[in-house]
Structure 1
Amino acid sequence: MQIGFDISALAEEKTGIGQYRWNLLRELRTQSSEFSILPYGFSFRGYNQLKRVAQDSCFRRNDKKGIEFKIFQIPRRPLIMSWIFCRQPSLDFFIKNADLFHVSDNVQPPTKNPTVSTIHDLSAVLFPQFHSSKNVFVDKWRFKQIAKYASQVICVSENSKNDFLNKYKLDSDRVHVVYNGVDHSKFFPIQDLFKIQQFKTKYQLFDPFILFLGTIEPRKNVLRLVKAYFELKNQQKIIYKLVICGKKGWGYEEIFKFIKEKKLEKDVIFLGYIDESEKNLLINVSDFVVYPSLYEGFGLPVVEALACGKAVITSNNSSLHEVGGEACLYVDAENANDISDKIFELIKNQNLRKDLEKKSIMESNKFSWEKCAKETFEVYKICQKQ
């Protein structure tokens, strides 16, 4: 069986969806001799990046024979619009020898073959105020077409599955929960003090700091986090810096405006997007991680921080309790006072922080990309039997 696997998300910097596609592809290639993976992608601006992905050594087997990639230098936006409104061109026009497709996370393209679609979250539909009008428009169409056309649907949490089934009418037997994973070879507690000191020197991170990881956009609740931090600084309760790591999404201007108004430029440090190879070091040198998102389908930054043995403050909403279990301290994400109170509690209560750190790695061990790939393969087999 030949499975077409969309990697278009890898044309850009790897955020949540990109991490999912990359890690799942890497694990799927080793899962079984019953099927082979045929990765394909569409991008004009990111064409060269997709070609680099295709040449990556992790997709080479021991005999140095690689997976066959099919990369098309085609602008995605017009293609997505054509798939949404015209239901053409068919994927079969581009990929001739696939038996089923694990299609894009952004659109449900037309094909005569069975399809598996992954839903990460329904935030654009449930909370349109957190998204650009373009994303809301595309996702509304996409979810309707997934409900209508997808052979099988993967949701990355029970919360996402419930949201999808509550919003759209389809047989629940078509919808499966397959949790995301974490790469424990990349995210782990670092004992090498020389590496840690090198990293601190490179980014000038010598003061103790609280870390936020994620795209800077309204849904991630960064503005409320900064306001909570400001209250603690204003009351002279903490000496910690706040480090924000992630690429700029949309609607971030108000955050920078607030920081400038409150003269927090020396206290709130923006690192931008850092390479995956350095993220483990960044988490390790932090004191703890705060992730007060307003809605998540899974919450990769939480499980990555837990895998590094860090205490995590996160929200008591959506899927985050599924990921954090008993290893996190939970807050009301819509209450800045609660966020500031929990930050102060974790700073002052060293026993609580140590207790959470002890639980963190055990909780993260529930998730792996190998397990994700095995369970995804089972969905493929269901799809094949249809």
Structure 2
Amino acid sequence: MKVGIDARNLVTKTTGISRYVQEMARHLALAGHEIFLYIPEKPYSEPLKAPNVHVSISDFAGGPRRMIWAQTVLAHMARQDGLDVFWGPAHRLPFYLDRKIARVVTVHDLVWREQKATMRLQTRLADRFLMKPAANSADQIVVDSVATGEALCALSKGYESKLRVVYPGVTKLAKPKQQDTVSSFRIDRPYALFVGTLEPRKNLKSLLEAYALLPQEVRKGLLLVLAGGQGWRLSDLESHITDLNLRDSVRLTGYVSDEQLAELYQNAKFLAMPSLYEGFGFPIVEAHAAGVPVLTSNTSSMPEVGGGAALLVDPYDIRSISAGLEKMATDAGTHEKLAENALDNAKRFDWNLSASRLEETFRDAIALRRQQLG
């Protein structure tokens, strides 16, 4: 198949969705398909290199200009390249794709509907007004979890017949060449690890307040390490840490490389991820792939993804989060049981299987498009 991909997510530093685009494109290329990556501006890292991968980089830097690119240049290039199927891997499809081209869109989450107060206004409005048209025009819709699929179908029953649940895979992070990440971040004792962008949806202020409620002797033996780049509306996070008298117990690493992240996972006592909402939650399966148990929320997709290797808490109840932290830190039986289940749970998420399921979805979309055209 000739597969076109809106690869605008490769413009930024590696996040869950950009990793999703990279891995799916790589595995589709390895399966022998001809891949066309369309990128509105210079990507953060070098795109795939292979004889059957074609990369088109435009000069449309910045959010507003990328939106113009998506509805003009992108649709034009897709028509010129004679695609069999066009894939929007993150909630978007061009309005004016050639009608002969089958189209598939992936919906990762409905944050704009479920947790709109936690989003930037521009992003929320874009998702609100562009996701539905993409889902309506798509021949097939891919979602990362059953929970996201159910939330999407609540918007329209018409989505049910073309909905496919395709779990993402888990990326094996490169083993660190030098074991110095932990010491470089002043991590000198066991720690609970948070991984993700520092933004309101991740519920970090509640996590910090829950951690502050722990008995002093527990906190003395358990650091809290927050690994991730600065998002928005959390510029005062350090002030919050100071106000809670936690400066000696919390480490902020900032954005970390894959090698640094691998070492942080390997040495963590557990992952602490009490998010308000997740469409999937890559850190859960990344931690499990490292054999690390997880504390996460009892909402949206997190119980589904955590399987039998996660302790669930109520993200809206600070005492529930705190009790969970204490249990993970002090209850050896619970910790051991969850750790034993971690690797088996991670095996459910495999990029080869993900790409194979996506390939099936593309073929179904092509067949439906041809049927419609007669």
- Among residues 157, 168, 173, which one is paired with 1:186 in the alignment? 173
Cα gap change, 1:254 to 1:162, in 2 (>3 Å): same
The answer to whether the 8 Å contact 2:2/2:36 transfers is yes
Extract unaligned runs of 5+ from structure 2.
369-374
Counterpart Cα distance in 1 of 2:307 and 2:87: 30
Deviation digits for residues 21-53 of structure 1 (CA, Å, limit 9, x no counterpart): 11111111112x4x311111112xxx153xx42
Q: How does 1:1-386 map to 2 (within 5 A)?
A: 1-31=1-31, 33=32, 35-43=33-41, 47=42, 49=44, 52-54=45-47, 56=48, 59-60=49-50, 65=51, 67-75=53-61, 77-79=63-65, 81-82=67-68, 88-89=71-72, 91-95=74-78, 96-97=80-81, 98-110=83-95, 111-112=97-98, 113-183=101-171, 185-186=172-173, 195-196=178-179, 198-232=180-214, 235-239=216-220, 240-386=222-368
* 1:154-179 C-alpha deviation (Å, 9 max, x unpaired): 00000111101101352412111001
3-state DSSP class of the match of 1:19? helix
In structure 2, what residue type is equivalent to 1:213? V
Maintained 8 Å contact 2:34/2:52: no
For residues 76 and 102 of structure 1, the distance between their equivalents in structure 2, rounded to whole angstroms, comes to: 22
TM-score, length basis structure 1: 0.88
Contact 1:327–1:357 (CA under 8 A) maintained in structure 2:
yes
The one-character-per-residue Cα deviations of 1:309-367 (angstroms, maximum 9, x if unpaired) are: 01110101100111111111110111111111111111111121111111100011011
Distance in 2 separating the partners of 1:15 and 1:142? 21
Q: Percent identity of the aligned residues?
A: 28
Counterpart contact for 2:90–2:107, Cα < 8 Å: yes
2: CA distance, partners of 1:138 / 1:169:
22
8 Å contact from structure 1 (residues 156, 179) kept in 2: yes
**Superposed structure 1 runs of 4+ greater than 6 Å apart:** none
Q: Partners in 1 of 2:116 and 2:311 — Cα distance?
A: 27
Partner SS state of residue 219, structure 2: coil
Whether the 8 Å CA contact 1:147–1:170 is kept in 2: the answer is no
Query: What do residues 6-28 of structure 1 show as CA deviations (whole Å, max 9, x unaligned)?
Result: 22101111111111111111111
Instruction: Tell me if the contact between 2:146 and 2:301 (Cα under 8 Å) persists in the aligned partners.
Output: yes
- Of 328-337 and 236-245, deviating more is 236-245
Q: Is contact 2:143–2:163 with CA below 8 Å preserved after alignment?
A: yes
Distance (Å, rounded) in 2 between the aligned partners of 1:104 and 1:72: 18
CA deviation string 1:203-262 (max 9, x = no partner):
3322221110111111111110000111115x4432111100011111113432211222
Query: Letter of the aligned partner of 1:270 in structure 2?
Result: L
Aligned residues: 362
1:351-386 Cα deviation digits (max 9, x unpaired): 211111111000110111111101000000001112
CA drift at 1:66: 5.8
State the AA in 1 paired with 2:205.
L
- State the alpha-carbon separation in 2 of the partners of residues 200 and 75 from structure 1: 36
Looking at structure 1, the residues matched to 194 and 358 of structure 2 have their Cα atoms a distance apart, in angstroms, of 30
1:106 Cα offset (Å): 4.7
The aligned amino acid for 2:173 is K
- The residue type paired with residue 90 of structure 2 is D
